[in-house]
Structures are given as structure tokens and as C-alpha cells.
Structure 1
Amino acid sequence: MKLRITIDGKAYEAEIEILEAAESAPDYPPYPPAPSAFVPPSAPEPMIALQDPETESNEKECRSPVTGMVMRVDVEPGQAVQPNDIVMVLESMKMEMQITAPQAAQVKSVLVTPGSSVKVNQLLVEFE
């Protein structure tokens, strides 16, 4: 069988032979055997947060629950706060987190400023 192909305005003639499907199929090596059934490793032991006796939380302290940066501080020493009043806003992994007062109290001291980096369990605010 002859075919004519035109590429960029120039005609080419080609002679083509059609083979049987079995003759034209390439010989591939056999597939490797399937792997044995996947067995996931045993689940890791749950991590238990151990706190130092010095850093145990109490109602007179406000500690950072995450590692991040202080975006805003909404209280100052001497200010009275009610439960769940926003004390400050932290940013961690591009998410903002509102830190609230655990109970009604008066702010004794604020230990961080906007732009400060904080670590997990770091003391942020002390209450009287």
C-alpha cells in the first residue's frame, strides 16, 4: 500500500505494509510477581506530654499552647479580665490563634510583646 504525505508543502510517498496484530506486538518480559500483602508497621506509642513541675499550668498563668509569634497583645498590667476574654493573638503556621483568660482576674504582668517568638508552654501572662 502506498501513501502520500505532504509536509510544509512538499509531497512524500511512502510504502506501508500492514502486519497481523500478533506479528506487530512487541515482546515484553513477563511482569514480576506481585509483592506479598502489605503489612503496616505497628502503631507508634502515643506521646504523653510530660510537664516539668516548674511549668505546670495553673489558673494564675497563661501559657502558649503552640510555637509561634505574638501578633497582638490585648491586655496590660493592672487590667481586669473576665473568663474567655482575649488576652493576645498568636500566629503559628500561618494560622491565628486567640489566647483567652482562664478565669476572672487582674493582669499582674505581660511577658511578651508583639513580634516576640514563643515556644510551647512558655509563660505569656501572669494573673493576680
Structure 2
Amino acid sequence: MKYIVTINGKKFEVEVERVSNGNGQVDVSKDSKKVSNNEISKTISGGIKVSAPMPGKILSVNVQEGQKVKKGDVLFILEAMKMENEIMAPEDGMVEKVLVSKGSQVASGDILAILK
């Protein structure tokens, strides 16, 4: 079973698995949390990874490196299953790195940009 646990304002994804001896095993993803439909995780440098929530094609890149963004700003438009999906900034910050371009094919979980 998977749970989202909040500790000191930070969200952690925890997976609990029952093992053969009747005890439990807990795996914690220490650096990840879910915000809206975008999975983000803190990088070692303190940045935030903005990931593709599903496979598809990047129709537009609405930001450039060094640009300031606010939570909810549309960073990318991702076409998946003939629908356009807005990939939004999960929080305020600055675009440190854009890792895709218009026309790029991405898989679910691929990192599209890193925010600071």
C-alpha cells in the first residue's frame, strides 16, 4: 500500500509491504511529493524537477532558462491521447534548466525542467 505522509510540512510517499514473516517493510521516497498533476522532487541543489505526468509530445515550451515563474503558470503544453495538457509550475521560482523542446516525445516521469 502507498501512502502520502506529511512531516514538518514536507510530503513523503511511503510504501508499506507485508513480508513473509508477518512483519512489514517500509520504503520511503524521501525526496518526492505530488503537487497537482505534476510530480516534483527536490534535487540535491534545492531545485525542483518538473516531470511529465504521462507520455506524449511537447506542443509548446512557454518558458526559458532564467525566467521567473509563479505557482500555476503554464510551463509546457503536452499532447497525450489527442488532448492538450497544461504542465504548470508547482511553486514559485526561477527556471534553472529546460530539458525539452517543442516536438519532443516524452515518457511518463521524464524531467521537463528544473526550477530553483
**1:10-35: CA deviations, max 9, x gaps?**
xxxxxxxxxxxxxxxxxxxxxxxxxx
Q: What stretches of structure 2 of length at least 5 have no aligned partner?
A: 2-14, 16-28, 33-39, 43-47
Instruction: Pick one of 61, 73, 80 that aligns with 2:49.
Output: 61
Find the aligned partners of 1:79 and 1:127 in 2 and give their Cα distance: 10
What is the CA distance between 1:61 and its match in structure 2? Answer: 1.2
AA of the residue aligned to 1:127 = L
CA distance in 1, matches of 2:59, 2:67: 19
TM-score, length-scaled by structure 2: 0.62
Shift in Å, 1:87 = 0.3
- Give the 3-state SS of the residue equivalent to 1:109 in structure 2: strand
Distance of 1:75 and 1:62 partners within structure 2: 13
Give runs of ≥4 in structure 1 deviating > 6 Å: none
For residues 122 and 107 of structure 1, the distance between their equivalents in structure 2, rounded to whole angstroms, comes to: 17
**Local SS of the residue matching 1:77:** coil
Identity %: 32
Length-normalised TM-score, structure 1: 0.57
Residue 103 of structure 2 aligns to a residue whose secondary structure is coil
- The structure whose residues are more often helix, as a share, is 1
Match of 2:86 in 1: 98
2:108 paired with 1:120: yes
Partners in 1 of 2:98 and 2:84 — Cα distance?
Answer: 19
Aligned AA (2:41): N
- SS of alignment partner, residue 50 of structure 2: strand
Determine the C-alpha separation between the residues in 2 that align with 1:75 and 1:61: 15
Residue 89 (structure 1) aligned with residue 73 (structure 2):
no
Question: Max radius of gyration: which structure?
Answer: 1
What RMSD in Å do the two structures reach over aligned CA positions? 2.7
